[in-house]
Amino acid sequence: MADFGLQRKLKTIFWTACFLLLALPCQAFDRQTPVVQAVRKVGPAVVNISSEYIVNNRGNPFGANPLFDNFFQDFFERRSQKRTSLGSGVIIDGARGFILTNAHVIERATAIKVVLQDERQFDVRIVGTDPDSDLAVLQIESDTPLPSVNMGDSDDIMIGETIIAIGNPFGFSHTVTTGVVSAMGRSIKTDERVFHEFIQTDASINPGNSGGPLLNINGELIGINTAIYAKAQGIGFAIPINKAQRIVSDLIQFGHVIQAWIGLAVQELDPRMAAYLDLKESQGVVVTQVEQDSPAQKAGLAPGDLILTLGRRKLLSVGDYLSAARGVSPGQSIRLALWRDGGIKELDIRTKPFPVERVPQLAWQRLGIEIKTIAPALRERYKLKAEQGVAITAVRKGSYLANIGVRPGDVLLQIDEKTIVNESDFTTAMINSRLKSSVLLLVQRNNQVYYLTVRMGT
């Protein structure tokens, strides 16, 4: 009986304790996680970008040669439509009002507006764009200090670490998504070009997110989100901030990216050549030409050399080489590894700016044209109506431009994003475009203008 009474007492004590514990207030967990803190810190520096652009639709039933539009201009109605695109950006310098975004966010824009998180709205000045890297720098002016983001280090990214994306997908402002770093060094091929060295993440990045910040868990900027890959499902990509910073510096200082001169022409490695050289893998690009008195010639490179790496980039294609070359600044020393005489050799190349005096030769070789400033004699000779631009005075027989109908007397108004007002602009545009496989030209004939996508010759 004594044991039974003891058991009853113990049960009573147990259940009394349970009721007392339940009656106590619940312990509150800290809801301000690192993600919440990072978003609060950076959110004010994320901007909504809206840009308007005009689309002209005019029928050309043959479609093959845009210069035939002269024939159809009287028979097909031209329609102009105003369209709006939305994107994101992040303020990287609050004192000077600099905003970093994607180049495709403001492509062809005729008007751009920026809206901050506090709903302040600003007109925008385009500081510079670089379509090859899909980056652009904008500037706004404010009477009060602007918030800005802290820079991180994209070379220090760890696969699997938590990341945060902020942007304006589908017009929903300041949307936050999270994920992890899935991979580094990804290459993405679009309809127009190949982009290299992207950060891959599983965070949702949709139209409108483009140009917004990719942050680490500390709220530091490690990348610029981009939504250029339409086929991506559950995959996001971002441009590493360390790659972007060199481009941003050039855009702010010069309005365009200054490309270093190495002085090489290369081609893909043929698998048969790889077998002949007894290489274990088909790696590298073959040097086909070394320019006279170029940094490459002074470093000792020669046709037939097989370049395996440039800087830290392993070369598997010509695209890899061009991307690595575009990432080098003039005056920078860069190391490359090459295969020669059955062994690997390393060389250092000290790059330099491309010599301005070589531009006429470059234009004749790559575009197949000669140009001159529009002087009174040229205006009279060709009956030119253009107010600015440079006159095409010669077209190389057999060149791409010659084959599609460009002729002396046409006026060149633009190369890619660069407006051509005079020969100095043409020189700058040719130097910046010399590593590309194709460029977009704006050509005027009489009162009509035409956009031409042109393959660059060698």
Picking from 139, 137, 151, the residue whose alpha carbon sits closest to that of residue 247 is: 137
d(CA 58, CA 67): 13
Per the annotation, the verdict on 320 as an active-site residue is no
Element (H, E) at 366: helix 359-366
Decide: helix, strand or coil at residue 446. coil
Q: For residue 137, count other CB atoms closer than 10 A to its CB.
A: 26
> Catalytic annotation on 104?
yes
Whether residue 174 lies in the annotated active site: no
| Backbone conformation region of residue 111, classed left if phi is above 0, alpha if psi is from -120 to 50, else beta | beta
Catalytic residue among 50, 88, 104, 410: 104
Instruction: Please pick, among 134, 305, 320, 410, the residue that the annotation labels catalytic.
Output: 134
Q: What is the side-by-side order of every strand in the sheet holding 125-130?
A: 121-123, 111-115, 46-57, 79-93, 98-101, 135-139, 125-130
Residue located via tokens 């490690």 = 222
Q: Are strands 220-226 and 175-189 parallel, antiparallel or unpaired?
A: unpaired
The Cβ of residue 331 has, within 10 Å, a number of other Cβ atoms equal to: 11
Measure CA of the first residue to CA of the last residue in the chain; give whole Å.
Answer: 107
- Angle between helix 423-433 and helix 359-366 axes, rounded to 10 deg: 60
Give me the catalytic one of 85, 148, 204, 210. Answer: 210
User: Which residues belong to the active site?
Assistant: 104, 134, 210
